[in-house]
Structures are given as structure tokens and as C-alpha cells.
Amino acid sequence: MLRRSGGWLDVVSAPPVSDPTLAGLDAGEKEAIGLPFKTKADLILLDEARGRRAASEHFGLPVTGTLGVLDRAARIRLIDPKEVVEELRKTSFRAAPKLYQILLGPATKPATTRHKNEPKTGSRTREQEEGSN
């Protein structure tokens, strides 16, 4: 697991969680699900649908995937999403074309899921704009 520490990231290991609800998941997914309990992480990265579902539905853990991390990085202008998607498509990583399109969409779109420490993004509503005049 990667977690923010001193302004960057640390690699942390944890034993896989042994829970009957996780039958069918591989050891890496079980370890990722167990890490928040060891490290107090407030967000975990899982790309496989079964692992994401188990983490969120059975354990109540906030989950994002690779494209979710890249979307957050693009929103705060850490990466150029076009360049990253181009490079990602050269790897074995696979995602639905619709998900790539979301990542390549306008950088000012509001986040659909937000990390609890991430500032809110998005534009003000017309009512908010008119009320401030």
C-alpha cells in the first residue's frame, strides 16, 4: 500500500484479511482490504470489481481505482490526463472506454467521489452566483 507520509508516499505491507466474504479474491486484494485496519488509511486503491465491492459493501471502506487516482491528480494539475492515458494504454491495464473519456473530460468538472482530505471542486450554481452580487 502507498500512503502519504511527510509529503510523499510510503510502501506498507499487511497480512491478507481472512474473512469468508473475501473468498475468491486474490491475496493482493485481501491485503489491500486489510491495510486500512493496520494503517488507518482513509482510502484504498483497488481496480478489480469484486475487490472494490467487497471492500465497500462488506467493510465500509472508501475505494478508488487507478483511474480515480489519475482523475484526482488531473484535477489538481499534477498530471496531463491526455499524456497519462496515452501511456496507460500502452500497458496491460484495461478499462472501459467510457472511463477513459471521463478522465479526459473537462478538468473543472466536480469530483463524483472525494477523498475526505481533498478540497471540494466544481463551479458555483447560478443561485450561488446571483446571491453573491
Summarize pLDDT for 33-90 with one digit per residue, the tens. Answer: 988 888 888 788 899 999 999 999 999 999 999 999 898 889 888 999 999 999 998 9
pTM above 0.85, yes or no: no
Per the rule left: phi > 0, alpha: psi between -120 and 50, beta: everything else, 12 is beta
Taking a C-beta distance cutoff of 8 angstroms, is the pair 23, 40 a contact? no
pLDDT tens for residues 107-123? Answer: 434 444 444 444 444 43
Question: Is the pLDDT higher at 10 or at 127?
Answer: 10
pLDDT in the model for residue 6 = 56
Neighbouring C-beta atoms of residue 120, cutoff 10 Å: 7
Percent helix, percent strand, percent coil in the chain, to nearest 5: 45, 10, 45
